[in-house]
């Protein structure tokens, strides 16, 4: 019975799709309380339209890298150098030192919410 096999295959594929969707969208980092400096950093992010090129948690533009976990792999000096020089296709931004520090504080707050990119798990994390 080919129609019964097709129905079962469609049911299995649908279940896999629903299961994957649940796994992908259940990674909610939860609310993060921002201090005044980090809140100003979020404002700078939006005022400078950073989301047009960069992503957070996989959402945003595709010209620049995802910056969800930039604070883990970078530092404030690197951020300042990139803002001043505008590496690659990124334009240079002349931000006041307070705005640059606020942007760094906001990126640290975003980083503290969890991992925004897929990563390989270590063997002890499977338990």
In this structure, is residue 67 part of a structural domain?
A: yes
Q: Judge whether residue 105 has pLDDT over 50.
A: yes
In this structure, is residue 121 part of a structural domain?
A: no
Grade residue 119 by pLDDT with cuts at 50, 70 and 90.
low
Which of 115, 83, 121 is CA-nearest to residue 100? 83
| Domain boundaries, position 71 | 36-111
Structural element, H or E, at residue 3:
helix 2-25
Same domain (yes/no): 87, 104: yes
pLDDT in tens, 29-48: 556 688 999 999 999 999 99
Bridge partners, 56 (sequence order): 59
Same domain (yes/no): 70, 106: yes
CB 65 within 8 A of CB 85: no
CA distance linking residue 88 with residue 53, whole number of Å: 12
In this structure, is residue 124 part of a structural domain?
A: no
Which of 56, 32, 36 is CA-nearest to residue 112? 32
As a whole number, the mean pLDDT across the chain is 85
CA distance linking residue 42 with residue 106, whole number of Å: 6
């Amino acid at each position: 019975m080919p129609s019964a096999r097709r129905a079962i295959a469609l049911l299995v594929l649908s279940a896999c799709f629903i299961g994957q969707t649940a796994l992908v969208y259940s990674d909610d980092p939860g609310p993060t309380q921002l201090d005044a400096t980090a809140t100003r950093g979020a404002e700078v992010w939006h005022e400078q339209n950073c989301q047009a090129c960069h992503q957070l948690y996989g959402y945003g533009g595709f010209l620049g890298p995802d910056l969800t976990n930039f604070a883990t792999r970078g530092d404030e000096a690197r951020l300042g150098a990139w803002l001043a020089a505008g590496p690659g296709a990124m334009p240079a931004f002349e931000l006041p030192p307070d705005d640059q520090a606020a942007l760094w504080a906001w990126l640290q707050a975003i980083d503290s919410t969890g991992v925004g990119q897929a990563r390989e798990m270590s063997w002890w994390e499977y338990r």
